[in-house]
Chains A and B, each alone.
Chain A
Amino acid sequence: MSYKIAIASGKGGTGKTTVSVNLFKGFNELRGKKVQLVDCDVEEPNDALFFCDAEVVDVQEVSQMVPVIDSEKCTFCRKCVEYCEFNAIVVLPPVPFAEINPSLCHSCGACSVACEDGAITEHPKPIGTLNFYKTDENNGLVEGKLKIGSTMQTMLIRELKKAIPGINDIIIYDAPPGTSCPVVETIHDVNYLILVAEPTLFGLHDLKLMVALVRELGLEFGVVINKVGLGDNAIYDYLDKERIEVLGKIPFDKEYASLYAVGEITGIIPDAIHQSYTEILDVLNQKITHHEGNNRIKW
């Protein structure tokens, strides 16, 4: 079984991608295990930007099934309207008129169950693609890319996670920002969750939202504080008070930020930042070893 780690944040721009990409490279070098990086920020995936030599090895289209009502067969009973949780169906018996709005439909299939007249059939509608990249001999990156105009983030993330081969030792999910459905879909089944936070007012505010979510989901998690040196001490006091595990502190470095801007986040890393990642990787490796040990006992 793969060990699954998600990197999430709440606030955008705290460093999810930077941490994800660096951990991915770090695991590659340290352990020689098969590691898969998965970019779950399907609205604007950007992990691939940091692997300019990576070649695309496969592109898979993902579709949602959208129901269509045949008004010849429809008896305008409105049962499907009652079944639809998303108000996607309009049926006007006197007209008569029956139509499903695909942009409101979540493809749950309830209307097909509701219809007793065989008037509803389902047809595929593309929502995005899964792009598979080969980054080196053993390891790879997969990203989900949502089609412009589609609102099916959660469905695409679900399909993306399903498409990852089980032969990987470690899977790293780079989560979308925020605390809503796409984030829950990304993190709900991981072995360990890393929250990347920054010591600003906004950063702390969103970290608290994220901690509340993660505790409700019952996930094991720790925090990486990025851009240490900015802001104030409130975040450290909060983490201390809540007894939240701090995996590492990455110092703020303006030169490193410039390197990020030209896509060089893993090349020439300042010593202090490199040291932080080494520490974070050590902690994660312990967790992975522990997990493997536990699994062995179970078998």
Chain B
Amino acid sequence: MKTVITSSGENNLAQFDKRFGRAAWFCVFDEETKQTIFIKNKNINSSNGAGTMAAEQIVSMNVQKVISGDFGPKAKDLLDKFNVQMVIIQDNDITVQGIIEKLTK
């Protein structure tokens, strides 16, 4: 199963980014292989539709779960439609690694 974690940087030690559509990076964590890959959010500076585009990207990567600080209504509708589970974490001081540890515990 693949999970996306919104990240402020390109590696596991980066801070978790609480924004979904305007996160700097998307960390894709594969629970079977324990591997992470980082994908740059190319819509971070879009004037509108950043959340929609992020949701589209996530669905196209065949991800089952997304962890972020919040989800806007348009992104939420789209993720719901494709049965992607949304997990909200309201923690400012956690790293991507910290979230992965919680996931695999």
Contacts and interface: CB of A to CB of B under 8 A. Distances in A.
B11 to A, nearest CB: 28
A103 B74 contact: yes
A152 B52 CA distance: 19
Given A103-B74, A104-B74, A88 B56 contact: no
Given A101-B74, A104-B74, A86 B48 contact: yes
Interface string A218-249: 00000000000000000000000000000000
Interface in B79-101: 82
A147 B49 CA distance: 21
A107 to B, nearest CB: 14
6 contacts: A86-B47, A86-B49, A87-B43, A87-B50, A92-B59, A92-B60
Interface string A130-169: 0000000000000000000000000000000000000000
A86 B49 CA distance: 6
B58 to A, nearest CB: 10
Place the interface of chain B in its size category: 10 to 19
Interface in B46-64: 46-50, 52-53, 55-56, 59-60, 62
Interface of B: 43, 46-50, 52-53, 55-56, 59-60, 62, 74, 78, 82
Contacts of B47: 86
Given A95-B82, A103-B74, A104-B74, A87 B48 contact: yes
Interface in A184-230: none
Nearest to A81: B56
A267 interface: no
A104 B49 CA distance: 7
A87 B46 contact: yes
A153 to B, nearest CB: 14
Contact of B49 (A88, A92, A95): A88
A94 B57 CA distance: 12
Contacts of A91: 56
Interface string A86-121: 111011101101000101100000000000000000
Contacts of B46: 87
Contacts of B59: 92, 95
A101 B52 contact: yes
A87 B45 CA distance: 12
A87 B53 contact: yes
Contact of A88 (B52, B55, B60, B78): B52
